[in-house]
Structure 1
Amino acid sequence: MAGWILIVGADSSENWALGRGDGIWATKKSRPFKTGDDLFFWQAGSGLIATAVALSDSLSSAEYDYRSLPWPDRWGFREQVRENEIYKSIVEMRVLKETSPLSFSWNEVRDALDFRTGANAAPVQLDDQASSVAKAWFDTGFGHDQPDIEMT
């Protein structure tokens, strides 16, 4: 299965809490999430904060009313929304582990997992090997000295 690094905006911590609680995440870029894919969440300005597993393939905004997502958006619920404001891929998920941010910079993660894009290109697809490396970071707690939170 593929892995993905998804971004939680620096000013969107409440979106993470709501999405985690409802078991759903959405992106404004169309991405082919598949059931069973590994999902890694990057808190902008902090680092990796969680790992999850996809429970569905990507749902498009045609298949899922993005206005029913659990978080408010900065533009509110206007009738007219610009194309770049619409969520294009929605994925159901189960959070496996949440942790204090693993203290890697984006460049360190990019180099360790061998991809070449910036955070603004996220979600970033990882190959199987890179996904295994990222999962190991959560298993070992490497990158920080605070306790992990196991999700049940």
Structure 2
Amino acid sequence: MASWIFTIKGEHPEHWGYAADSGFWDIVNRKDVKAGDDIFFWQGKGSLVSWTVASDDAIDIVDSMPPAQWNDRPYVRRIPIDIVSEEPIVDISWTDLAENTGITAKPLNGQIRVPTDAEEYLRALFKPESEDSATAAGYPDTRTKISALIHRRRGQQRFRQSLLDAYDRTCAVTGSRVEDVLEAAHIRPYRGSHSHRVSNGILLRSDIHTLFDLNLLTVDEQHVVRLHPDLLDSEYGQYDGLPLRLPKSRAARPAKDNLRVHNCECSWFH
């Protein structure tokens, strides 16, 4: 496996946020990036911003793929990514980075291959995700820690803002537009910043979010709301069988694979 530094133009600092939310990066050439390759992102006029891993081989972009949020250049290949860390432990200049890695290319080159003997050096520049990185082999069940989840929801501001925009500031289940009670629900449990993809989230009113985290409410692969049988006669029963209010952008809609995982965690759901 190889390692790369991908550079982001200084005038487009928002592009890293787009990549973190969508879970992919597009390039304008045919660099042969493979699944498992480390990709370190460098922000032009700044420093390193993230360490990611290619979750699949780079593939040619076709019309049927979800559109990207960037459109400044004619992109030809797409690389799915998982985030390892967004916490560099130092702000390092390109001059110092080049000196310590042996890289001779300029940051304007876009995608730069990292010498093999410099890979560990680059990894050491990042603080890994703490409690969640140890479970990177899958999405562990963390829903018994509901109080902790509720406490940190509002700390995930970029994820919440992305969902507010995608869902037109409306709860996907109830239709509530009271923004102060709208929260960003993870479909697969949160296990670090790389869980913050719009397709792994639903904008929910706070009480609906809690039911979702407790596996008392789920959304099937046809985007229909399903409720635990014990709640059908409660005030929440009115939502059972209703279609989820979906974002206009198909790329922002809940991914079926993510919904399937949540459905499986609901022992009552068949």
Give yes or no for the alignment of 1:135 onto 2:143: no
**1:50 matched residue in structure 2:** 50
Structure 2 unmatched ranges of 5 or more: 129-191, 195-270
Higher Cα Rg: structure 1 or 2?
Answer: 2
User: Per the alignment, do residues 138 and 66 of structure 1 end up closer, same or farther by CA in structure 2, a change over 3 Å counting?
Assistant: farther
Give yes or no for the alignment of 1:111 onto 2:109: no
Matched to 1:128, the amino acid is: T
Please list the CA deviations of residues 96-128 of structure 1 after superposition, one character each: whole Å capped at 9, or x if unmatched: 110268421112111211121111212001133
Matched to 2:43, the amino acid is: Q
For the 8 Å contact 2:8–2:110, the answer to whether it is kept is: no
For the 8 Å contact 2:89–2:125, the answer to whether it is kept is: no
Q: Which has the higher strand share?
A: 1
After superposition, where does 1:65-80 map in structure 2 within 5 Å?
Answer: 65=63, 68-74=66-72
**2:81 matched residue in structure 1:** 93
Residue 134 of structure 1, CA deviation: 0.2
Please list the CA deviations of residues 1-36 of structure 1 after superposition, one character each: whole Å capped at 9, or x if unmatched: 210100122222222111111110011232110000
After superposition, where does 1:4-19 map in structure 2 within 5 Å?
Answer: 4-19=4-19
Distance 2:119 2:10 in 1: 23
User: Per the alignment, do residues 46 and 71 of structure 1 end up closer, same or farther by CA in structure 2, a change over 3 Å counting?
Assistant: same
Matched to 2:71, the amino acid is: D
TM-score using structure 1 length:
0.76
Please list the CA deviations of residues 34-76 of structure 1 after superposition, one character each: whole Å capped at 9, or x if unmatched: 0000010000011001000001111123xx34984331323xx
Distance 2:79 2:46 in 1: 23
Q: Secondary structure at the match of 1:137?
A: coil
Q: Secondary structure at the match of 1:134?
A: helix
Any runs of at least 4 consecutive aligned residues in structure 1 with deviations exceeding 2 A, and if so which? 64-70, 99-102
Matched to 2:118, the amino acid is: A
Q: Which has the higher helix share?
A: 2
User: Per the alignment, do residues 98 and 89 of structure 1 end up closer, same or farther by CA in structure 2, a change over 3 Å counting?
Assistant: same
Percent of aligned positions with the same letter in both sequences? Answer: 21
